[in-house]
Amino acid sequence: MPFANLDTAWFALIGLLWAGYFFLEGFDFGVAVVTPLVARDELDRRLCLNAVGPTWDGNEVWLLVAGGATFAAFPLWYARLFSGFYIALFLVLFALIARGVSFEFRMKDHRPGWRAAWDAANFLGSLVPAIVWGAAFTDLAHGLPLGPGGRYSGGLIGLLHPVALVGGLASLAIFALHGSLFLTLKTGGELADRARRAARWLAPAAVVLTGGTLAWLASAARPTVAGSLPGWFPFLAGLLAVLALAAGGLLLLRGRPGIAFAATGLGILLATGAAFSRLFPAVFLSSTVAANTLTIGAASSAHLTLVVMTVVAAIFTPFVLAYQGWTYWVFRARLTRPPAGKGPDGPA
């Protein structure tokens, strides 16, 4: 398959959208997951929420665009995902709804029980996607038992391959590390110190779990698909991801949390690239019969559709990126505890 084809270009673009989503929403998930570990009182929990409060919904736009691009560019891939991964995707959707509502409803009542319930919703609504996304992409990279036309009918249980479980734990550790580093940069005082200590514990776990997932996938048999990239390419991308995560941990120990955050972000981008490059030129890899693999060409839309999508994306994408960059610039200030007397509901 020529690399100049628009269907190949859109496959790469969708991979880039997922990478951007995991980079940005990854630290949102991570902040929620580590909040019970680093927050000591109501004000600490407010600071953790406020650290991601202005940007979390903008970060989720990357998921919506990735899903919309998949639907438009590869409708058959979209259909196979939502038929085979229906329960897993429903769990993610339910978790994301609960998480989004928690940001809006938590401060509507001052009762501790009310706030505790929405804190739990925010935690679980971040924990579930952090695990499921890693497990799902590990499954796609590993391959699934597919029927004719790339149909998967194994249900949720069939997705729980041991390597997928390790991949899910790896993504959870990476996002938690990424979120801890973000809190280290975004907050001050004792809360930032506790986030820094949490990141020091999480870095080795992220490196070991990601390295284990990489080694498992590299040792697994890969169906032969015409046009596949050489096996060393996704392995190299995965290895660089592990090294980037390790570098992030070392940089944190040297007191460079900003560069450490950039390193873990690079690790996320490389890990996503490794998954998509192992998948190429398929959108659904068959682990049993190579002929059942669903390829990019078989799943893509008509050429004219891809041309129109390319023109629209070229026009509007710069505006979206500029707006999101402006948002981060406006809310760039470090959050600290307010002066005494303001109380937990005062300005954070």
pLDDT in tens, 100-117: 999 888 888 888 888 899
Question: What pLDDT shows up at residue 146?
Answer: 79
Residue 20 C-beta-side C-alpha neighbours within 13 Å? 19
Question: What pLDDT shows up at residue 223?
Answer: 67
Mean pLDDT of 188-192: 89
What is the rounded CA–CA span in Å between residue 98 and residue 94? 6
Question: Helix 162-186 vs helix 232-253: angle between axes, to the nearest 10 degrees?
Answer: 40
Q: How far is the CA of 138 from the CAs of 130, 133, 156, 159, 319, in angstroms?
A: 13, 8, 14, 10, 33
Q: Is the pLDDT reported for residue 342 higher than 60?
A: no
Whether the upstream peptide bond of residue 75 has omega within 30° of 0, thus cis, is: no
Eight-class DSSP state of 227 = T
pLDDT class of 181 with cuts at 50, 70, 90? very high
Per the structure block, which two tokens stand in for 194? 């506790």
Eight-class DSSP state of 85 = S
- Residue type, position 8, single letter: T
Please tell me which residue, 226 or 191, carries the higher pLDDT value. Answer: 191
Question: What pLDDT shows up at residue 340?
Answer: 60
pLDDT in tens, 138-171: 988 888 887 777 777 777 777 788 899 999 999 9
338: left (phi over 0), alpha (psi -120 to 50) or beta: beta
Question: What pLDDT shows up at residue 5?
Answer: 84
Which residue, 35, 24, 61, is CA-closest to 328?
24
Q: What is the DSSP string of 175-218?
A: HHHHHHHHHHHHB-HHHHHHHHHHHHHHHHHHHHHHHHHHHHHH
Q: Which residues of 52-62 are buried (b: 16+ CB within 10 A; e: fewer)?
A: beebbeebbbb
Mean pLDDT of 65-87: 88
Are the C-beta atoms of residues 93 and 132 closer than 8 Å to each other?
Answer: no
What is the rounded CA–CA span in Å between residue 112 and residue 254? 39
